[in-house]
Amino acid sequence: MAGPLRETPRTALVFGISGQDGAYLARHLLERGYSVHGTSRDREMSGFGNLARLGIRGRASLHSAVLTDFRSVVEVIARVRPDEIYNLAGQSSVGLSFDQPVETLNGSIGGTINILEAIRFLKLDTRFYNASSSECFGNTDDRPGDEATPFHPRSPYGVGKAAAFWAVANYREAYGLFACSGLLFNHESPLRPARYVTQKVVRGAADIAERKAETLTLGALAIARDWGWAPEYVDAMHRMLAFDRPEDFVIATGELHTLESFVEQVFAQFGLDWRQHVETDAALLRPSDISRSVGDPGKARRLLVWEAQTCMPGVVARLVEAEMRRRHGEDAA
């Protein structure tokens, strides 16, 4: 006798699956029974190291696709015909965007438009999530940024993300697509590359504790950020596409901490006084930077029933623990 019919699993396509958020999102969706597909520029050449670190390298179907090439985007979407598409691809470093402004802008706006056009061209009933950023807001001076806060980006990265945000809104309104953007504030994990300041601080402090170095050089310590934990933020992305209507959401902890406070807590984890080891160098400052960036996640709390569980002190503790395990040949991603 035949058994009960199984419901066909939902299919998700993740552009940028090899990055921090892409890898955690892939794991999150696989744990919920999704069939997960992901892309890189050349799947044969990409190591997909983050997927391997999370133990899911062989569980996602991988494809080659170049986000700025419309034909490439159409072909992979037509092949997969996903229920959900997540656009997490593109150059993700704010600092690097000053050195690569054209590539950063082309990837942000061109890639997003290509996905939207592909969904429209193929007439798919696909839900689309676009990774936007707190960088769209620039400084959140007197109150936390929310969905109604005007944009004032202060980097090529922020400019590109702001343009892509409005492209998504336009396609949603003009063509009725289920398309939304997540305005995510800073979110960290052991999968962050070493060039990010959070990893630079953690690895620098560990080197000093192990007597491999004596000092750590940073830029402005007075900047303040809203730091959360990346695995929690990908849950918010999924909830946005599971919501009954397409809306944009700020995803944040709602807490503001200075980089100096972050540094102090990291060094304390190693039993060190940061003031004895940290130097500043004006050469590390960006041409323009954000002094204060904090979000108001109230809408996500009300409508998505999502709330950050890990704020800055917890982020520090997890990053330090993961770094020490990495140095002992273990992995804690």
Environment class of 273 (CB within 10 Å of its CB; exposed 0-12, middle 13-18, buried 19+): exposed
> Which residues fall within 8 angstroms of residue 286, CB to CB, at 6 or more apart?
94, 95, 98, 155, 219
**Per annotation, catalytic residue among 92, 108, 133, 189:** 133
**Per annotation, catalytic residue among 84, 92, 129, 135:** 135
Residue 171 CA to residue 22 CA, distance in Å, equals 23
Q: Is 87 strand, coil or helix?
A: strand
Kindly state the helix (H) or strand (E) to which residue 182 belongs, with its residue range.
strand 179-184
For residue range 93-140, list pLDDT tens digits in order: 666 666 677 777 777 899 999 999 999 999 999 999 999 999 999 999
Kindly state the helix (H) or strand (E) to which residue 49 belongs, with its residue range.
helix 49-53
For residue range 164-200, list pLDDT tens digits in order: 999 999 999 999 999 999 999 999 999 998 889 999 9
Token pair for 13: 């396509």
Token pair for 15: 């552009």
Query: Is 135 noted as a catalytic residue in this protein?
Result: yes
pTM: 0.93
**Per annotation, catalytic residue among 34, 86, 157, 233:** 157
Residue 44: other Cβ atoms inside 10 A: 7
